[in-house]
Structure 1
């Protein structure tokens, strides 16, 4: 038994939640620029997240919900998660993105994971629009701590875990996991990966080769 922890935006999904939300607010280009700089480790992730959330201030609740409904899993992601679940492997999503979008994408594909650790975009007091703030356990990008806590809960050594990610905020978990799989990783991230893949099929092959899944 082990824990396989996935990043979400750019890994399980090729959607970028803040950009989808930014489309609804007319600030998608600004969002994309900030996101790209953060993923390349050019600016601090927490700073980038606060900047992106601030651009969303006053976005109506209905528009936020519509943006989250656009979040989709990439090809093969749902099948891989389902196979890991069937194999008795603990599955987790550790994301600086937002729980609502993750939940919508998983529900649409009829698949679930054992743990989701994510952030949230608060609404104002009357629940009609976003405040422009962000809260949650992964604002500082401490995915190493989140992965360690999951491993402890499951009762496995951190060295037995697998982390899959693409951006600079994934580096903490990639560096402490027993197997670090870079999913089409950014240039600053690739040197820290044990294996680099560009599809969920390749990720599955790696998990088979490492003995976590059985080849069909």
Structure 2
């Protein structure tokens, strides 16, 4: 080999490196273009933390064994004639079809028992692994309701001006909504709904609540239906 051989080898290695880098860069661009555009108001809702296993759960075989022995609640279903099924489904539809998303509420008092019953109804909702990852908090105190309104309006103003984007804000114009929420002061009760990302086992360790975001959303839907009834 001549004294120039190492130089030629070095040049060839550099050229190969440049070619490979360029090829990888073009591949990354193609992959980026093939992906769907980000929709944060959709994607973020599905991030419920269940894709991050809790280390504290690992190796807790004793609890898992006990959990398998929990007694199930017996199910007794009712059967109806075709005519009765049609009648009941039509009646239920007509009732829920009267529901509206309004921004003006009455300050007329409502029996607390009614609020308790609709929350119990929402609590019958299905949930991931039956973890029931929700907490309902009823607020009646006027001062506390006003503080909640201030917090909500502050966050909503940021939503309208920064987070939601022009398209979303423009779509809301025809509904004439904004970040001002007077009805949070007017309503006799506020029902705050919190999702529980995890629960606690009898030994104090964390237990994952699977699909907590979706489970709480379903419970909210049942809550709205119960309020309409």
TM-score scaled by length of structure 2: 0.21
Larger RCO, structure (CA 8 Å, separation 6 or more): 2
TM-score scaled by length of structure 1: 0.21
The structure in which a higher percent of residues are strand is 1
The structure in which a higher percent of residues are helix is 2
Greater C-alpha radius of gyration:
2
